[in-house]
Structure 1
Amino acid sequence: MKKTILAVSILSLIGVCAYINNVASAEKNEEITAQNISPCETCLQLIRDPQERTNQLGNPLYLLEVYLDGQIIYTLEAVSGRAYSQQRNRNIAGTEAPLPDGEYRISQRIQRGSMREVGETFIPVYPLFQTGRRDLGIHYDPSFNQNNGEDGTSGCIGLTNKADRNLINRFVQNYHPQELIVKIE
């Protein structure tokens, strides 16, 4: 009888230890999950490059994260503003500063570029907050890394190559993201 009680006690102790381990693992997994929360289900997010890289002309590179079903599926290099306009007021029109931090609505209509420096297509974005900025969007920067006085943008998100521009155009057409989140200040 003593052996049976001892065996049951040992099995109970093993069960309690396994339960404690499972609870600890679940808590650890909850912490990991909490750290990897995406900003949205399907959206775009522009953030600072953690490595603070610049292009050859000193224009800061930003990262445009593309989210689908809450997961980053692409991270693309982009510019916003010009090397010399990074510290200007981002809420005043005409400064050529990067677009201000905040949430924007993404147009579902891709437009033809209206000038050479916008490239062939333009995806308008509309701030969901008060700002003096308008006519902002996402487009290819045809002067990226070119010493022609046009490297960068007047505040839009400028993609650094046509392949990325085509990828974003397809993403907007196929998945209809509604939101752009900007966190670069």
Structure 2
Amino acid sequence: MDYIAYVQTKDVDSLTVRNAPLGEKIEFISNGTEVKVQGEPVSKGNWNWVKIGTNRWVASEFLKVVKGARVVATRTDETIAGGLRVYKTILIDSNGKIVNKVRLISGRANYQTPSNVADSLTPPPFGIYTFDAPGWVYEGKDLKTQFGGVWSPITPIFKTNRSEIGIHYDPSAFKGNYNAGTVGCFATPTVKEKDIMTNFIRSQKPKHFIFNEG
């Protein structure tokens, strides 16, 4: 039976794609990539191999099936606000239906390559994250200056040197000042998109945030 899964290695390494179970390496795909698994697994060389396309096989141990409501952010070539990369983000409910779309930005304008380096100004690594408290959005005056008044913490399910990651609103996105962008978090660039994201998190209680290269 075919099904959808997401790539997630134990750390930030990409997953090797082979031309057959335990065959030759043909490419690499980054964490967070959505794949369609076809048919039944084949055991070979202590791994369970699954087909994700014509002559394309990966070890199923590095795939995760995500059920329920989730947020999926995909990198695009579009930039806004002086160089912030746009991540097209779809909001999927518990039935697997896309209920809305927003944009997210991450990192500072001159630091747009995702990195595993602690405390860097870049986006965090591609991969699967979990919401620390599904359905919870913290609102407070102490967050208004840089976090736009809202905060939902997320944690990677893989090993990384990055920490203190969350989703918030960036009130400086279009002001062109040094605060535009984030210090390694994810942010909606407008109030409208902030409200859409906040309402989705509260109503749908997503457990997973998936960040992929596209």
Structure 2 SS opposite 1:80:
coil
Moved over 6 A (4+): none
Residue 153 of structure 2 corresponds to residue 124 of structure 1: yes
Which residue in the other structure is 1:164 paired with?
193
Q: Which amino acid aligns with 1:80?
A: S
Distance 2:111 2:177 in 1: 16
Does the 8 Å contact 2:172/2:180 carry over to 1?
Answer: yes
Which residue in the other structure is 2:171 paired with?
142
Does the 8 Å contact 2:102/2:197 carry over to 1?
Answer: no
Which residue in the other structure is 1:110 paired with?
137
Q: Which amino acid aligns with 1:110?
A: V
Q: Following superposition of structure 1 onto structure 2, how do residues 1-185 of structure 1 map, counting pairs within 5 Å?
A: 40-49=67-76, 52-68=77-93, 69-87=95-113, 90-106=115-131, 107-108=133-134, 109-112=136-139, 114-115=142-143, 116-184=145-213
Does the 8 Å contact 2:102/2:196 carry over to 1?
Answer: no
Does the 8 Å contact 1:41/1:71 carry over to 2?
Answer: no
How many equivalent residue pairs? 148
Question: TM-score with structure 1 length normalisation?
Answer: 0.72
Distance 2:81 2:126 in 1: 25
Distance 2:204 2:100 in 1: 14
Question: TM-score with structure 2 length normalisation?
Answer: 0.63
Q: Which amino acid aligns with 1:111?
A: Y
Does the 8 Å contact 1:103/1:179 carry over to 2?
Answer: yes
Mean CA deviation greater in 111-120 or 174-183: 111-120
For residues 66-107 of structure 1, the C-alpha deviation after alignment (integer angstroms, 9 at most, x for no partner) is 0011122212111011121113x6112211110211111113
Q: Which amino acid aligns with 2:125?
A: P
Mark the structure with the bigger radius of gyration.
Answer: 1
Q: Which amino acid aligns with 2:163?
A: R
CA apart distance, 1:41: 3.6
Distance change (3 Å), C-alpha of 1:127 and 1:177? same
Q: Which amino acid aligns with 1:97?
A: T
Does the 8 Å contact 1:139/1:165 carry over to 2?
Answer: yes
Which residue in the other structure is 1:21 paired with?
none
Q: Give me the CA root mean square deviation.
A: 2.3
- Consecutive unaligned residues in structure 1, runs of 5 or more: 1-30
- Consecutive unaligned residues in structure 2, runs of 5 or more: 1-37, 39-51, 54-64
Between Structure 1 and Structure 2, the one with more strand by share is: 2
Distance 2:155 2:68 in 1: 19
Which residue in the other structure is 1:23 paired with?
none
Structure 2 SS opposite 1:169:
helix
Between Structure 1 and Structure 2, the one with more helix by share is: 1
Structure 2 SS opposite 1:60:
strand
